[in-house]
Amino acid sequence: MYPSDRQYSKQHEWIRVEGETGTIGITHFAQDQLGDIVFVELPEIGLSLNKGDVLGTIESVKAVSEIYSPVSGTVSEINEALEANPETVNSDPHGNGWYCKLTLSEPPDPEQVLDAEAYARFVDSAGS
């Protein structure tokens, strides 16, 4: 269920690193917990972030949730398609529902991210 080509945070974000770029989104578990996504607030291109900073928010019929950066870097691209079609996060959270891309200041800290198997165990232990 969770692609093995990315790393996962305990706040339910994923990151796929390709060279110096990290693509970030929320996990299937997160979108499932939120329910129908109705709005996304994307970060501004050029925004400099530290690991743990708020990237933006996702609003569902149930709640508004903040999205946190699992790494430090600068926003280089946003998924503008989400502004018109936020429900893409529900239908394809690990694909076309990606949130933004960062130019990384450093790679993800292996002590702070989980691989797909460890994330699945984490979600299962949370009582999903």
Contact 17, 115 (CB under 8 A): no
Q: Which residues of the chain have pLDDT under 50?
A: 128
- pLDDT for position 127: 60
What is the architecture of the domain spanning 7-103? Beta Barrel (2.40)
Sign of CA dihedral 109, 115, 118, 120: positive
Domain ranges of the chain: 7-103
- pLDDT for position 90: 97
How wide is the angle at C-alpha 106 spanned by C-alphas 100 and 109, nearest 5°?
A: 95
Helical spans, DSSP H, in the chain: 28-34, 81-84, 88-91, 116-125
